C-alpha cells in the first residue's frame, strides 16, 4: 500500500487560490493516482488517503504507517507545517518506510517564509511546483 498524507488546508483544493493550487479537488484527482498505482503494480498495491488539519493527527498517522508491514511508501504534503513542524520531521525521520515530500506549488518562488522546508531533510526526496502531477511522480519513485 502507498499512503498519501495531506496536511492543513489541502482539503480546500479547488477552492483555495486556484491560480496557485489549481482548480481540481484532491478527491477528483485521487482516482488518477489509484489508477497509476494499479497499472504500475498489476493491481497488487493500493492507495490509502489521509488528510488532516491537525499536526498531532498527521504525526500519529505517519508513525502508524511507518511501522505498518503493508505500507511500502508515504507521499506527504505537510502543507504549511513543512515550514516549522519539527514534530512531523521527527516522525518522517524515524520512519523505515520511504517518505517523499510533495508541494503543489513551487515554494521557492513564493513568499520567503515558504522557502524553508524543515521536513524534507528527513525524507527520501522532494517534489515541488508540479501541481498534482508531483504526487504521481512521487508514486512512480516509490514503486519504481
Between CA 68 and CA 2 the distance in angstroms is 11
Q: What is Dmax (Cα atoms) for the chain?
A: 43
> Which residue numbers are catalytic?
21, 103
Between CA 95 and CA 97 the distance in angstroms is 5
Q: Provide the grid cell at 85.
A: 513542524
Amino acid at each position: 500500500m502507498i499512503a498519501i498524507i495531506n496536511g492543513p488546508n489541502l482539503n480546500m483544493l479547488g477552492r483555495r487560490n486556484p491560480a496557485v493550487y489549481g482548480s481540481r479537488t484532491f478527491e477528483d484527482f485521487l482516482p488518477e493516482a489509484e489508477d497509476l498505482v494499479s497499472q504500475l503494480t498489476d493491481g497488487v498495491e493500493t492507495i490509502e488517503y489521509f488528510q488532516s488539519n491537525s499536526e498531532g493527527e498527521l504525526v500519529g498517522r505517519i508513525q502508524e504507517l511507518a511501522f505498518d508491514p503493508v505500507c511500502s511508501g508515504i507521499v506527504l504534503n505537510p502543507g504549511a507545517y513543512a515550514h516549522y513542524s519539527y514534530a512531523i520531521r521527527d516522525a518522517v525521520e524515524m520512519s523505515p518506510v520511504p517518505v517523499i515530500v510533495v508541494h503543489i506549488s513551487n515554494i521557492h518562488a513564493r513568499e520567503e517564509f515558504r522557502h524553508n522546508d524543515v521536513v524534507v531533510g528527513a525524507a527520501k526526496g522532494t517534489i515541488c511546483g508540479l501541481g498534482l502531477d508531483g504526487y504521481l511522480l512521487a508514486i512512480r519513485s516509490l514503486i519504481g
